[in-house]
Amino acid sequence: MKKYLLAVVLLFITSTISFAQHKKPALNIVFIGNSITQGVQLADAATEAPPATAVAYLQKQKNLDTVSFSNQGHSGYTTLDFLPGTGTFSKVEDAANAFTNKDALLIFSIKLGTNDSAIHGPHGAPVSPEDYQKNLKTIVDKLLADFPKAVIIFQHPLWYSPNTYNGAKYLQEGLNRLQSYVPMIDGLVKSYATTNPKQVFVGDTKAFAYFEKNHLTDLIPENGKQGTFYLHPNKKGAEALGKFWGMAINKVVRRNFK
């Protein structure tokens, strides 16, 4: 009888441990970005902007528990606007602290670079590739210092048409500069692999080519100083971008935080 009871107890303990080990992770995500992240020109940014559609995708994934998020996208902002010490950075940290589930995995999803790449107009533009990387590192270092268990995911920047020229001037020069930021992101992530293993990752890398190919259907035609240009996702494009981000985030979580 004693042996039977002992076997039952051991089975219960083993089952409990196994359940704990396979508990689905809950996520708290702060999306950092510019007007694309913010969802400007969308009818209902709260539900249609890429962060909302990314979370809608994540909430359908069977390997995840609850997913909460905060959209900290700001139109026209560059990496300089998000540096520690700015009001914008404080709002990012306030958003991270405001989540109610303190046991959830905290993720900062960062998609910056469009405004940095401009010839002139946005704060600090044009930002050199080296300064762009330096600014990102300054932001990430502070986030990791204040949230030691947080995960950072860099989404690659998006394509825009080479005649983009609204209040700010981008054009082909800006697009070339934007593409020069990509190896800076990838190199920065690689450097964190030794100092902060499993904390800083590259996220989406596919959206740039997707929007270049599908800009007539997924980006909003806008009147500019050099004709109709394409920069901001429409509803269809925001849903596609959100799925790209969601897939990238889930891939990081699934591979590293089971």
- What pLDDT is stored for residue 12 in this prediction? 44
Cis check for the bond before 126: say yes or no (omega within 30 of 0).
yes
Query: What per-residue confidence (pLDDT) applies to 23?
Result: 83
Render pLDDT for 99-135 as a digit per residue (tens, 0 to 9). Answer: 999 999 999 999 999 999 999 999 999 999 999 999 9
- Evaluate if pTM is beyond 0.85: yes
Question: Residue 20 above 60 pLDDT?
Answer: no
H or E stretch at 233: strand 227-233
Burial of 248 (0-12, 13-18, 19+ CB in 10 A): buried
Superfamily per CATH, domain 25-256? SGNH hydrolase (3.40.50.1110)
Task: Pick the closest to residue 25 from 210, 255, 199, 218 (CA basis).
Answer: 255
Tell the residue number behind the tokens 């990838």, with chain if given.
186
Q: 110 with 154: CB under 8 angstroms?
A: yes
C-alpha–C-alpha distance, residues 207 and 187, integer Å: 19
Pairwise CA distance, residues 226 & 169, whole Å: 10
Q: At 106, phi and psi to the nearest 5?
A: -90, 125
Residue of 43 and 9 predicted with greater confidence: 43
Res 9 pLDDT > 50: no
How much is the average pLDDT of 239-250? 98
In this prediction, residues 15-44 reach a mean pLDDT of 83
Asked whether residue 17 carries a pLDDT value surpassing 50, the answer given is no
pLDDT for residue 258:
75
> What is the arithmetic mean of pLDDT over 200-224?
98
Tell me the C-alpha distance between 10 and 173, whole Å: 67
Query: pLDDT of 164-205, one tens digit each?
Result: 999 999 999 999 999 999 999 999 999 999 999 999 999 999
pLDDT of res. 22: 59
**Rounded-to-integer distance, Cα 7 and Cα 134, Å:** 58
pLDDT at 105: 98
Please, which residues bridge with residue 151 across strands? 107
* Residue of 230 and 22 predicted with greater confidence: 230
- DSSP category for residue 29: E
In sequence order, the β-bridge partners of residue 68 are: 28
Query: Mean pLDDT, the chain, as a whole number?
Result: 93
